[in-house]
Amino acid sequence: MSKFLLFIITLASFFTLGNEVKSSSRLTPECKAVDEAIAINKLSDVQGSEHYLLDKPSKSGEKFINQRWYKNSGNISYWSIDYSTRVYVHCVTSDKKYAFVGIVKPDWLTNRKGWVKANSLTTSLTTSDSNASKDNKNKYVVTFDTRKTYQSQTVEFVKTKAAFCGSGQVRGIRGKGTLKVFNPDKTMQVEVFPCVDETQIKLPDGRALHLRKAL
Per-residue pLDDT tens, the chain, 215 aa: give them: 555 444 444 444 444 334 433 445 578 999 999 999 999 999 999 988 899 999 999 999 999 999 988 888 889 999 999 999 999 999 999 999 999 999 999 999 999 999 999 999 998 887 655 555 556 789 999 999 999 999 999 999 999 999 998 777 778 899 999 999 998 899 999 999 998 888 999 999 999 999 999 98
Q: Where are the alpha helices (DSSP H) in 37-183?
A: 67-73
So what's the pLDDT on residue 130?
54
So what's the pLDDT on residue 56?
96
| Amino acid sitting at position 67 | Q
So what's the pLDDT on residue 25?
53
Residue 132 phi/psi, 5-degree rounding, is -70, 145
Distances (CA, A) of 213 to 80, 84, 145, 148: 21, 12, 15, 19
User: Nearest to residue 67, comparing CAs of 34, 9, 19, 112?
Assistant: 112
Say which residues have a Cβ less than 8 Å from residue 74's Cβ, sequence separation at least 6.
none
So what's the pLDDT on residue 37?
95
What 8-state DSSP symbol labels residue 78? Answer: B
Q: 19: burial class by Cβ within 10 Å (0-12, 13-18, 19+)?
A: exposed
CA atoms within 13 A of residue 78's CA, in its CB half-sphere: 16
CA atoms within 13 A of residue 57's CA, in its CB half-sphere: 22
Q: What is the DSSP code string of 157-199?
A: EEEEE--B---TTSPPB-EEEEEEEETTEEEEEEEE-SS-SSE
Distance CA 107, CA 104 (A): 6
CA 32 to chain centroid, in Å, comes to 22
So what's the pLDDT on residue 167?
78
Q: Are 54 and 114 in contact (CB under 8 A)?
A: yes
The structural domains of the chain, with segments of one domain joined by +, span 28-120, 134-213
So what's the pLDDT on residue 183?
87
